[in-house]
Structure 1
Amino acid sequence: MASIFSKIVNLEIPCHKIAENDNFLAFLDVFPIAPGHTLVIPKKEIDYVFDLDDELYTGLFLFAKSIAPALQKAIPCLRIGVSVIGLEVPHVHIHLLPLNSMADADFGKKLKFSQEELAETAAKIRSCF
């Protein structure tokens, strides 16, 4: 069965897209722990980050690196944190997190934003490329 992220890649489920190329997609997390919380995924469905071949692995992190400056410009913060946990969705994904303190990296908390607020945030990030 396709993961929710594969359904997003296949346009079966909408997302608030930040950036995309042939192999990777970045979009806002709909259950964010920080404003601007972005997920970066390979379009190819692979469950575990260390199962990625070297080219896809390095490509994924380089793609995430290309997103971080725009994210930090759009959502002013001290750093863009990076987390790869891989337990909630069986599809490799990198969390890019605008951080001002360690408390901002608490995956136990979830923020709520309306679809309109998420769309505005995504547009703001895209405008910073």
Structure 2
Amino acid sequence: MASIFSRIVAGEIPAHKIAETDDYLAFLDVMPTTTGHTLVIPKQEIDYLFALDDDLYTGLMAFAKKIAPAIEKAIPCKRIGVAVIGLEVPHAHVHLIPLNSMADMNFNNKMKPTQEELAQTAEKIRSFL
């Protein structure tokens, strides 16, 4: 069965997309730890980040590096944190999280933004790409 991220890539599930290439996709987390929390994925479904071949891995990180400054400009924060956990969805992904404190990386404290709030956040971030 396809992961939820593969279903987003296929257009079966809507997402608040930030940026997309032929190989990678960045979109907002619907249960973020902070406003602007973005997921960056390879479109190819591979479960574990370190199972990606070198080109796909370095391409994913380079793509994330292009997204982070736009998030930082759109969302007031001290910096963009990066997290790779890999247990919640069997599809390699990187979390880009606007940080003002270490508490912003607490995955046990999730926000529940509305679809309208997510759309506004995505638009604001895209405006800085």
Taking structure 2 as the reference length, the TM-score comes to 0.99
* 1:17-28 alignment, distance < 5 Å: 17-28=17-28
Letter in 2 for 1:3: S
Alignment of 1:1-129 (within 5 A): 1-129=1-129
Aligned length: 129
Q: Which 4+ runs in 1 deviate beyond 4 A? A: none
Gaps of 5+ in 1: none
Residue by residue over 1:71-111, the C-alpha shift from the partner in whole angstroms, topping out at 9 and shown as x without a partner, is 00000100100000000000000000000010111011110
Taking only aligned residues, the RMSD between alpha carbons, in angstroms, comes to: 0.4
Which secondary structure state, in structure 2, belongs to the residue aligned with residue 40 of structure 1? Answer: strand
- TM-score with structure 1 setting the length: 0.99
CA distance in 2, matches of 1:109, 1:66: 27
Instruction: Please give the secondary structure, in 2, of the residue aligned with 1:73.
Output: helix
1:12-33 Cα offsets, whole Å, 9 max, x none, are 0000000000000000000101
Q: Which runs of 5+ in 2 are unaligned?
A: none
Identity between Structure 1 and Structure 2 (%): 72
